[in-house]
Amino acid sequence: MSSSPRDDAFIRLRDVSKRYQMGSTPVHALDSVTLDLPQGQFVAITGPSGSGKSTLLHLLAALDTPTSGSVAVGEWQLGALDRDAQAAYRRSMVGIVFQQFHLVPTMTARQNVALPLILAGVAPEVRQPRADECLAIVGLADRADHRPSELSGGEQQRVAIARALAPDPPVLLADEPTGNLDADTGAQIVHLLEDVHRDQGRTVIVVTHHFAEVEAVTERRIQLRDGRVANDRARAPSTEAA
C-alpha cells in the first residue's frame, strides 16, 4: 500500500533528487525518492552513514530544496517557496530536534522554549505560559530557570523537544536525537517522542543509527541506501507479539 503514490497523503515526495557537485564529481545525496506519509505516523529513517537521511530531513524542514522532484507537506509545496515563505513554513508546520541540541547557551530553558514563539510574534502573556506548559510536557517544569550548562544532556534534549513543540507544529523531525546520550537517557527521549506522537497526534520522523532503540514504538521503517529507498516496511502497532 505504502509504495503507490497517493495525492491525498499528508507528506508527499515525488521523484526527489538532491545532487551536490564536488569539483568534477557529483554526489547523489538523494536519488529519485518517492514517498507518502499519512498524517500522524511515527516513522523511523535508517541507513548507513552518508545514505541521505539528514538530507531528507532538511528537505522536509525546508532548510534546503531538491535539485529535482517535488516535496509537499499538507497544503505547502516546498519547492515553490521563497525565503520568507520557507521561514513561515518552518514556524508553523515543523519542529526540529538535532543530535547536538542547539540550545542558546545564554538563555534559560524557559527562554529557549519561548524563542520560536517570539519569532512567530506571539505576545509575551501567551508565550510564557506556553513555554512552561511545554517544559511540563517534557517533565522539566522544575528546571525552567536553568541554563543549558546547568542541565544534563538528556535534560537539554528535552528542552530542545519542548522548544520544537512550542509552536504546536503538526510535524516533528528528529535527526539522531539520542546520538549524544547514554542508552537509558536515550530510551527516555524515545518514550517522550512516542508521547508526542500518540498523545498529541503529531507526525514524528526520527532518523536513527540504532533502529532497535525505536523499533517498539515506530510504525514504519524507511531504509535508505545510496540516496535511495532500499526498504519501506510498515509495522503493526507494538501491542502485537514479535
**Residues near ligand ATP, by CB under 6 A:** 20, 22, 27, 29, 47, 49-55
User: Nearest distance from residue 43's CB to Mg ion, in Å?
Assistant: 16
- DSSP-based three-state secondary structure for 34: strand
User: Nearest distance from residue 134's CB to Mg ion, in Å?
Assistant: 26
CB atoms within 10 A of CB 230: 14
**First vs last C-alpha separation in the chain:** 22
Interacting partner of 236 out of Mg ion, ligand ATP, none (Cβ under 5 to 8 A depending on kind)? none
Interacting partner of 22 out of Mg ion, ligand ATP, none (Cβ under 5 to 8 A depending on kind)? ligand ATP
Interacting partner of 51 out of ligand ATP, Mg ion, none (Cβ under 5 to 8 A depending on kind)? ligand ATP
Could you tell me how far CA 109 lies from the centroid of its own chain? 20
What stretches of the chain adopt beta strand conformation (E)? Answer: 11-22, 25-37, 42-46, 68-73, 76-77, 94-98, 171-175, 203-207, 220-225, 228-234
Long-range contacts of 140-146 (CB under 8 A, 24+ apart): 140/109, 143/109, 144/108, 144/109, 144/110, 145/108, 145/109, 145/110, 146/108, 146/109
Does 54 bind Mg ion (CB under 5 A)? Our answer is yes
Interacting partner of 111 out of Mg ion, ligand ATP, none (Cβ under 5 to 8 A depending on kind)? none
User: Nearest distance from residue 164's CB to ligand ATP, in Å?
Assistant: 19
- DSSP-based three-state secondary structure for 173: strand
- Give the nearer residue to ligand ATP in terms of CB position, either 25 or 149: 25
As given in the structure block, the three cell numbers for residue 88 are 513561515
**Considering only 51-59, 142-150, 159-167, 221-229, which stretch makes contact with Mg ion by CB under 5 A?**
51-59
Interacting partner of 38 out of Mg ion, ligand ATP, none (Cβ under 5 to 8 A depending on kind)? none
- Give the nearer residue to ligand ATP in terms of CB position, either 198 or 225: 225
**DSSP tag of 45:** E
Interacting partner of 29 out of ligand ATP, Mg ion, none (Cβ under 5 to 8 A depending on kind)? ligand ATP
User: Nearest distance from residue 39's CB to ligand ATP, in Å?
Assistant: 25
- Give the nearer residue to ligand ATP in terms of CB position, either 16 or 117: 16
Does 208 bind Mg ion (CB under 5 A)? Our answer is no
As given in the structure block, the three cell numbers for residue 31 are 536519488
| Residues contributing to the site for Mg ion (CB under 5 A) | 54
